[in-house]
Amino acid sequence: MALPSDTFATYSAIGNREDLSDIIYNVDPIDVPVIASIPSTSASHTLHEWQTDAYAAAVATNAVLEGDDATTDAATASSRLSNTCQISDKVARVTGTQRAMNSAGREDELEYQVFKKTMELRRDMETTVLAHVAEITGDSTTARKFGTLGTWLTSNLSEASGATTSTGGGNNARTDGTNRALTEAMVKTVLKSCFDNGGDPDCIVTGSFNKQVISGFAGNATRVKTAEDRKLMAAIDIYESDFGDLQILPDRFARPALGGSDTTADLWVLQKDMLALAYLRAVGIEPLSKTGDSDRRQVLVEYTLECRNEKAHGAVLDLSYS
């Protein structure tokens, strides 16, 4: 049936206002479980330092004669560790014309862009902490970089053949080995090593693929279907080990990071209070000078990773992720 003659329809109209929703939909992840859950502390220098110590080995022969003179036991000095503060930033720039426009979904385009840059910076920070990048002290032509988590751990590792272990201290990166499938035995070996070295890890951090592998561990072989909630329990969110319960944190920014070129995956076993982010300058927003008809804002942070004692943590490395 055709439209009646001389009927004015939307197809001919040029004065109808557009229908543009006032909501902007973005599903890109902004959850950063590691940097959101470990402590924060302050740095007062570009070289941030802290100390570790250890007790003498326990012995079963500590017996002395009655009335004997006391013998002085040897004392050992604490160890002094350091990491370099790194500057990371994101810069938003919007023209004066665009700021004057009536934009859908936000009142001010610059404010919206600053918010996006802040979230992007946090994603960068999470990815960096969980990377394998050695410390760079920097100079006038080279940016400073802190030694990331993968450059500190040496004691409680499960690595594949072909891997070269970092010497620790944040100073050099390891070399990846041949990818292998994650097994529960690998995790249990690392947990035992952490315990034997004095650590009490409380979380496991890994990507989506190996999170699902963990859900298939033998410890989760019996799944319970309850009539009350009609849910099939098919995932492990808490891993109950021989040495305590560990929260499992799926992390989109653990290797292989989203959009990255990584060829292997990591599983971290962490004791959260034995890590910290030390801020020389906390995340802040600074207006930059105008050089024309636009406004710029710099979102900047200067921080480093404080690995308080690497023996508290462990990792299963060189894992498959598909």
What single string gives the DSSP state of each residue in 95-141? EHHHHHS--TT-S-HHHHHHHHHHHHHHHHHHHHHTS----B--BTT
Condensed to tens digits (0 to 9), the pLDDT of residues 27-58 reads 555 789 999 999 999 999 999 999 999 999 99
Place 221 in a pLDDT band, splitting at 50, 70 and 90. very low
7 has a pLDDT exceeding 80: no
Place 212 in a pLDDT band, splitting at 50, 70 and 90. very high
Residue ranges of domains in the chain: 33-49+79-319
Distance between CA atoms of residues 93 and 287, nearest Å? 10
Condensed to tens digits (0 to 9), the pLDDT of residues 154-206 reads 999 999 999 999 999 999 999 999 999 999 999 999 999 999 999 999 999 99
Are the C-beta atoms of 103 and 229 separated by less than 8 Å? no
Higher pLDDT, residue 2 or 277: 277
Tokens representing 174?
């390891």
Q: Provide the 3-class DSSP secondary structure of residue 125.
A: helix
H-run or E-run covering 157: strand 157-158
Higher pLDDT, residue 100 or 136: 136
- The average confidence (pLDDT) of the chain is 89
Q: For 192, phi and psi rounded to 5 degrees?
A: -60, -45
Q: For 115, phi and psi rounded to 5 degrees?
A: -60, -45
220 has a pLDDT exceeding 60: no
Condensed to tens digits (0 to 9), the pLDDT of residues 187-201 reads 999 999 999 999 999
Distance, CA of 215 to chain centre? 21
Distance between CA atoms of residues 300 and 279, nearest Å? 11
